[in-house]
Structure 1
Amino acid sequence: MSKDWIVNEETGDRVDWVDCDFTHLATPGVVGLTPYHPGKPIGELKRELGLDDIIKLASNENPLGPGAKALEALKQLPDLGRYPDGGGFSLRAKLAHHHGMRPDMVTLGNGSNDILELITRTFVAPGDEVIYSDHAFAVYALASQAVGAKSVVIPATEDYGHYLRAMARAVTERTKVMFVANPNNPTGSWSTAAELRDLLESVPDHVIVVIDEAYFEYAENVADYPNAAIWVSEIANLVVTRTFSKAHGLAGLRIGYGLSHPQLAELLNRIRQPFNVNTLAQLAAEEALNDSEHMARSVALNNSGMQQLTTGFDSLGIHYLPSLGNFICIDMEQPAHSIYDQLLRRGVIVRPIDNYGMPNHLRVSIGLEEENTRFLKTLAEVLGN
């Protein structure tokens, strides 16, 4: 392998390596990975196009941000020269009380993505199978491929939902983990309490079933939508994941958690990185958990914003998928990336989802009323309406 440098002829500075290729040193699962691409940051669009007036409706963030209680906790700066509580004792105790279970059933993560990866690394070996639905959250595929697992992707239903009976039928002796997002990102689709319960009762004990409830707070008052956390104490092979990044408005602090049988939690804890949740995240999450007023405002804003967008789509003749999240998936009936690019040039960031096998769709996060209005107006301009 060459270690010669490319040198800037004018300055003499070294600017890059020549012909360095380390892919043969990486594990097979990593070599084939395509990195996760998040929604475009506002700063990146500013640098690319020189725009200043930008709205971002791309990453399913709470447009209200953190609540007053979480913000107040962040002002009380602790001694940041000390490591955080590696076991998250206080936050785990509050989460356990909130869910009516024991603290040793709670695993803290650097976002709920961290819990999804911990589960895969703990229970899945190369050649094992992981089951998830088509059009499901991208991290399931990334985490599975990284450990050398065989992904068993089940076709979605006609309305882009999880085909749970087919997922149950796909289980073999090699199946180790099954991921179910409820509601699902990016489609917004969901499974009812009866459907999920039937799945859990039909899956054998050697399969860890993960119900990803990142958007739970937006959906919990919908008829037939289940709170899977109440099943954790009776179904030993169930893990439920939640996050503070969405409705709680703490996306920038990266804090989530998993609920499971104590032995499953203990196994996850064996490979959990030391101090994986920072001090500020723990403090803010504790206060966010108790801020019912902020949660009520966030859900109310999401409900009104969802109505605002769906009414706008109806007037524009745009088909959309029903959603229980803080986002909505719209069908442009043509390759959507060009529409995404035109919106970008006008300072509106949404999310193309061709990487989810939906090249004609865009995912749009629910924003503030004025942001939703601007998006609808700009979309109409792009479409020539």
Structure 2
Amino acid sequence: MRWKEQLLTLTPYQPGKTIGEVKRQYGLKDITKLASNENPFGCSKVVLEVLQKAAHFEKYPDGYATEFRFQLAKFLKVQPDQLIFGNGSDEIIQIISRALLDERYNTVMATPTFSQYKHNAIIDGAKSIREIPLIDGEHDLTAMLNAIDDKTNVVWLCSPNNPTGAYIPEDKLINFLNMVPKSTLVVLDEAYYEYVVAEDYYNSIELLKDYQNLIVLRTFSKIYGLASFRVGYGVSHPDVIRALEPARGPFNTNTLGQLVAANAIKDQAFVNSCRKANREGLQQYYDFCEENGLNYFPSQANFILIDFDREGNEVFQYLIERGYIVRSGNALGFPTSVRITVGSKEQNEGLIQLLKEYVSQIKAHS
């Protein structure tokens, strides 16, 4: 068969190890997974109540997500035709790449950042992929601007950035948007938007009024605790959405996903409580790092990247053998670090205790 050449050099997205997989491999009964930036507190009770009444699974989903569309538009204070839905925001990334990238056009992104920007650009045969190194975990917006030319069709911004947790301040983002050519789509990936507490974080929905070449991506997989339902969305100018829609597959968001997402936004008290608990959990890790002289990136997301100055896989292996799954920095562009999802207070305490033991062992042998 004559496969696309670029596919032959790619590997599929590698998610973190599952709890069942770790139990079987290491013979453990209790596993704590803090690897995939999931919400340790689950989802809103409102969602659980709605699920008990769900029915009519023999019918196809609403391909236009009509009810969900109108409820989300009202919640965001935008027009219904400003929304596009995806099987997670990952699919919208794929849709954007499919619609705008081929051998004629290039794309600009930070590095390290979310891997799917580059992955899809390669599959779609982008002319070139211009990766601009982070500076202290943050986007180098000046260098990214300098990389843009008349063949740049998409620029990817991840704020807060995965895997560093750093965000783009409002003044820097606005200056950047003012300089980007109107023919270039700026994708602002806000998967962790609801966790942000920084005072100088921008209001991306308001920015859409002034920048028609901007699309904002968000998801219900993180703070809303609905990762298994795979619902993400993009918000942009109606012309942008209209152009992207033909690249979206029919019935790409399922009936239950639409239902639970529409009801999840009604419980902002749950969102606020998760945000508060997340900040408290981050502080537990900050204190641990300060006490042990470890470098880390202050995070506006629900994870923290800690540099142990050791092979990331080594730290990962030490923890997984003891029942804690985290994410090695080797696969994330930070080979001496691990990325840890912030868990409940008790989960964080258990993991930090193991990390203290690990650090003590290293110091004893150095």
**Structure 2 length as normaliser, TM-score?**
0.96
State how far apart, in whole Å, the 1-side matches of 2:5 and 2:202 are. Answer: 38
Question: What is the match of residue 149 of structure 2?
Answer: 172
Question: How far off its partner does 1:48 sit?
Answer: 1.2
1:286 aligns with 2:262: yes
CA-to-aligned-CA distance 1:51-94 (integer Å, 9 cap, x gap):
11110110001101110111111111120011111100111111
The one-letter code matched in structure 1 to 2:153 is: K
Equivalent in the alignment of 2:120: 143
- Partner of residue 238, structure 1: 214
Match of 2:64 among 66, 87, 91: 87
2:102 to 116, 125, 131: 125
CA distance in 2, matches of 1:269, 1:122: 9
Structure with greater Cα Rg: 1
Q: Deviations over 1:127-185 (max 9, x none)?
A: 4211000111111111111101121001211x121001111111111111000001000
Q: Does 1:56 align with 2:44?
A: no
- Counterpart secondary structure, 2:156: strand
- Displacement of 1:109 in angstroms is 0.6
What is the rounded CA distance, in whole Å, between the counterparts of 1:127 and 1:147 in structure 2? Answer: 11
Look up the match of 2:364. none
How do 1:285-364 residues align onto structure 2 when only pairs under 5 Å count? 285-364=261-340
1:260 maps to amino acid: S
Q: Is the 8 A contact 1:69 1:287 kept in 2?
A: yes
Q: Does 2:73 align with 1:96?
A: yes
Distance apart, 1:383 and its partner CA: 2.5
Partner amino acid for 2:100?
F
Q: How do 1:7-46 and structure 2 match up within 5 A?
A: 25-46=2-23
Distance (Å, rounded) in 1 between the aligned partners of 2:216 and 2:141 = 17
Instruction: Give yes or no for the alignment of 1:257 onto 2:233.
Output: yes
Name structure 1 gaps, 5 residues minimum: 1-21
In structure 2, what is the Cα distance between the partners aligned to 1:72 and 1:277?
20
- Say whether the 8 Å CA contact 1:131–1:167 is kept in structure 2: yes
2:133 to 138, 155, 158: 155
Structure 2: gaps (5+ residues) = 362-366
Partners of 1:68 and 1:324 in 2: CA distance: 25
Number of aligned positions between the proteins = 360
Which residue in the other structure is 2:161 paired with? 184
Give the whole-Å Cα distance in 2 for the aligned partners of 1:259 and 1:292. 20
Per-residue CA deviation, residues 218-257 of structure 1 (Å, 9 max, x unaligned), is: 11x4210112121112211100000000111101111010
The letter for the 1-side match of 2:171 is A
Aligned match for 1:272, one of 248, 253, 256: 248
Match of 1:47 in 2: 24
Q: Tell me, in whole angstroms, the C-alpha distance in 2 between the residues paired with 1:317 and 1:53.
A: 30
Q: How far does residue 313 in structure 1 lie from its aligned partner after superposition?
A: 2.0
Contact 2:315/2:328 (<8 A) preserved: no
The code of the aligned residue for 1:96 comes to A
Encode CA deviations 1:303-357: one digit per residue, 9 max, x unaligned.
1111112112222222211110000000011211111111110011000122232
Q: Distance in 2 between matches of 1:78 and 1:231?
A: 39
Structure 1 counterpart SS, 2:50: helix
Deviant stretches of 4+, over 6 Å: none
TM-score for both structures, normalised by structure 1: 0.91
Cα deviation digits, residues 111-135 of structure 1 (max 9, x gap)? 1111111111011112421100011
Q: What is the distance in 2 between the residues matched to 1:41 and 1:164? A: 36
Cα distance in 2 between the residues matched to 1:298 and 1:323: 15
Percent of matched pairs sharing the same residue: 38
SS of alignment partner, residue 198 of structure 2: coil
Contact preservation (8 Å) 1:228, 1:240:
yes
Matched position secondary structure for 1:311: helix
Equivalent position amino acid for 1:26 in 2: W
| Alpha-carbon distance in 1 for matches of 2:209, 2:347 | 42
Q: Does residue 66 of structure 2 align to residue 113 of structure 1? A: no
Rounded to whole Å, the distance in 1 between the matches of 2:172 and 2:100 is 25
CA contact (8 A) 1:28 1:148 kept: no
Three-state SS of the structure 2 residue aligned to 1:168 is helix
Give 3-state SS (helix, strand or coil) of 2:14's partner: coil
Q: CA deviation at 1:205?
A: 1.0
Which SS does the other structure have where 1:384 is aligned? helix
3-state secondary structure, aligned to 2:215: strand
Partner of 1:378: 354
**RMSD value, Cα:** 1.1
Verify: 1:369 aligned to 2:335, yes or no.
no
Q: Deviations over 1:242-281 (max 9, x none)?
A: 0000111101111010001112111221111111100111
